[in-house]
Each structure stands twice: as C-alpha cells, then as structure tokens.
C-alpha cells in the first residue's frame, strides 16, 4: 500500500468515527417516552383491590341516583274545596239560626233558605217537616239549637246509598257516560280512567261521541295519559258501532272495563234518547255487560241539572251521578234534590282541575263542609 492510499484509509475511518459520535450524542438528548400509569387493559376488581391494598367501597365509589317515586295522590278535602257552597249556605241559613226564639217565621225562613240553596222544593218541604217534628219532640225553643237537627236530617237524606262502581268478573264491563254537551263527560272519563289504571284495572276508552268536534282527539289524549286502549270511529259515524267495536276489542284482549263516551246533543231530545237506548242495547250484545250508566251533571247549573237528570233517567237506566265542578258551585244543594227526588246516588264529584280531584262522594264530609 502506498503512502497516499494509507492516508485516504485513515481519513475515511476518521469520518466514520465522527459520524458515530454525533449520532450517539443526539440520541442521548431525546427524552424517553413515559410509560402509562395504568395498564391499557382494565384490571379485574380483585386485581384492583390487591393492587391498592385497601378495601373497595363500591357504594362510595359509584353515586347511584335513587329512582323517582311518584307520591300517592292526596284526596282533596271537601271542607277546603266547597268554599262557594259553604258561603252560600252560611249566608242563607245563618240568619235563621241566629234569630232567637223558634216561631212560624223561623220555619218559613228556613224553608226559603233551603229552596234558594237549590235543595229543591219537594226536598226542602220534606226536610223542614222532619226537622220541625224532631225539634218539637226535643222541646227546642231557640233557633240556634236547630243547626244540629238540620245537619242530621240532611245527612239522613243522602245516607244509605250504594255508591260503589260495579265491576263484574268474567265479563267485559261497559260503563256508559251520558249527559248534555259541556258538562265534562270526556274529561270525567279521562280522569276516572287514569285512576282505574293506577289501581291496576285494564281499560279501553271508546269515543262514542262522534259528532262533537275534537271529542275523539280529546279522549285519545286521555287514553294516552292513562296508558290504556282506545277505539274511535270516523266523524259522524254511528256511535253504537264505535261502542260495539270497543267492546269486541276489549273482549278479545281480556280487558276488564270499557269507558264509553256518548253524544250530548239536546236540539232533538227524542232522537238523543233513542240513540242512547240503542248504544246500550248494542253494548250488551255478545261479550259486553253494561254495569254502570253514569249521568254527568255540571253542579253549577243547579236545578237545570235536576231537570237533565230526569230526562236522561227516563231514557236509560242511570245507575249513578257524577257531579263536576262542585268546587266552583254555590249550588251544592242539588245533591239533595238528585238523591231525594230521583233516587240516584251521587257516586263521584269533581273538586278541581286535576285527575286526582275526581273523588268518591262522601255524604258526611259533604254536609259538614257546608256548615264548617
């Protein structure tokens, strides 16, 4: 090897050595990657306990929200809700009970007060006759002492009636709701349906009022709220056919109760009553049994409500009365007229706007509320 070749080899070796040194220095300046603090795959719970070496409090580690539980409805109080009726009774009767000695004027004024409170003429006359007999037998001479006798006789007028809602086993029960337009039939069906489903009953609502605008839509909304079946027909369809279809559908699905809405037109009373009679006949064909015919009356109508009750009772076998808007009425005396003159029990009353405000009628509470 010549001297020139030796020099070239040494230069090449020096260049290579210099490159290696530079590379090593650069590598030493690069920071190593951090290892993850936890393994990429989740550990089993037992592994976590061993690793942490502390007891694992699952309840403390996971905050699980308690499910919302709907509070049971609170039945409205008759005393709280009958302020208008109580004010009317107090105004009419208060003067009678504070007049001093009992005389003929006392009985005349008491009779007039009862009639003006919408107790009804016949019922008022009978009630005052009984009160007078009891007072004379007890030797009462002061009008202030008549109050307890009046309350006792008013309770007796509406006592001892079957106010239960009938549900027969092994059949499809049909409850018909009848009454003039505007009294709250559809709303009553919706409220009662919500209550019945909450009690565990199975229901179907049948929109038998095929003539009133939006009646079926309104009932359908209530059916959705109550979580029950719903049957409707075309606008203007035969109400009997809608109710019949509802009964057949309920029977096929083993549903306990059909709540049947009906029309309430009074422009032709004869046709309306014939229609209601037909609905009842058709509802009882094959699987259905009509176990309730509930007449819905607006309590604010007073004696007009009594006249309506007479008309409907003549056409269909009414089993009971639902008094709506009793909380907004000063004419609570209609209860006594309906029960005494027509022999119909008031089964349900409306004491407010919500579904929970449709309650069973309580005679003793009602009378007490009028004089509280």
CATH superfamily placement of domain 172-318: P-loop containing nucleotide triphosphate hydrolases (3.40.50.300)
User: pLDDT 10s digit of each residue in the chain, 372 long?
Assistant: 555 455 455 555 554 455 544 443 444 444 444 444 444 444 333 333 333 343 434 333 334 444 444 555 677 888 888 999 988 888 888 888 888 899 999 999 999 999 988 898 999 999 999 999 999 999 999 999 999 999 999 999 999 899 999 999 999 999 999 998 889 999 999 999 999 999 999 999 999 998 887 899 999 999 999 999 999 998 888 999 999 999 999 999 999 999 999 987 654 567 778 888 899 999 998 889 999 999 999 999 888 888 888 888 887 889 999 999 999 888 889 999 999 988 999 999 999 989 899 999 999 999 999 987
Q: Which fold has domain 78-157?
A: 1.20.120
CA–CA separation, 322 vs 122, rounded Å?
Answer: 22
Strand partners, 205: 230, 259
SS3 label, residue 258: strand
pLDDT at 296 (0 to 100)? 95
Per the CB < 8 A criterion, the answer to whether 287 and 202 are in contact is no
Using a cut of 0.75, tell me whether the model's pTM lies above it: yes
Position 371 scores a pLDDT of 86
- Looking at the chain, the domain(s) classified CATH 3.40.50.300 span 172-318
Q: Which of 321, 341, 369 is nearest to 163 (CA)?
A: 321
Query: Are 363 and 159 in contact, with CB atoms under 8 Å apart?
Result: yes
Sign of CA pseudo-dihedral 212, 216, 218, 219: positive
Residues composing the chain: 372
Closest Cα partner for 264 from 318, 324, 312?
312
């Amino acid at each position: 090897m010549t001297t020139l070749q030796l020099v070239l080899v040494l230069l090449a070796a020096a260049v290579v050595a210099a490159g290696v040194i530079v590379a090593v220095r650069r590598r030493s300046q690069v920071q190593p990657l951090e290892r993850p603090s936890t393994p990429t795959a989740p550990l089993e719970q037992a592994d976590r306990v061993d690793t942490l070496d502390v007891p694992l409090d699952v309840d403390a580690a996971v905050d699980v929200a308690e499910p919302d539980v709907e509070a049971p409805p609170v039945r409205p109080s008759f005393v709280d809700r009958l302020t208008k009726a109580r004010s009317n009774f107090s105004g009419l009767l208060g003067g009678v009970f504070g007049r001093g000695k009992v005389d003929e004027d006392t009985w005349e004024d008491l009779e007039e007060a009862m009639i003006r409170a919408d107790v009804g003429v016949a019922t008022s006359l009978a009630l005052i006759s009984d009160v007078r007999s009891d007072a004379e037998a007890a030797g009462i001479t002061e009008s202030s002492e008549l109050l307890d006798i009046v309350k006792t006789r008013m309770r007796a007028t509406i006592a001892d009636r079957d106010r239960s809602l009938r549900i027969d086993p092994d059949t499809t029960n049909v409850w018909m709701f009848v009454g003039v337009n505007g009294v709250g039939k559809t709303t009553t069906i919706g409220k009662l349906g919500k209550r019945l489903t909450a009690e565990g009953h199975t229901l179907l609502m049948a929109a038998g009022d095929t003539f009133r605008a939006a009646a079926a839509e309104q009932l359908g909304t209530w059916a959705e709220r109550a979580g029950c079946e719903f049957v409707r027909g075309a606008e203007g369809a035969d109400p009997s056919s809608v109710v019949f279809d509802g009964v057949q559908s309920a029977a096929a699905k083993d549903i306990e109760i059909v709540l049947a809405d009906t029309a309430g037109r009074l422009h032709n009373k004869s046709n309306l009553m014939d229609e209601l009679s037909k609905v009842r006949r058709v509802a009882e064909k094959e699987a259905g049994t009509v176990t309730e015919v509930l007449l819905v009356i607006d309590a604010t109508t007073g004696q007009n409500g009594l006249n309506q009750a007479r008309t409907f009772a003549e056409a269909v076998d009414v089993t009971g009365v639902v008094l709506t808007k009793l909380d907004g009425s000063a004419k609570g005396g209609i209860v006594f007229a309906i029960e005494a003159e027509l022999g119909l029990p008031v089964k349900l009353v409306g004491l407010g706007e919500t579904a929970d405000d449709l309650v069973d009628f309580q005679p003793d509470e009602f009378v007490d509320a009028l004089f509280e």
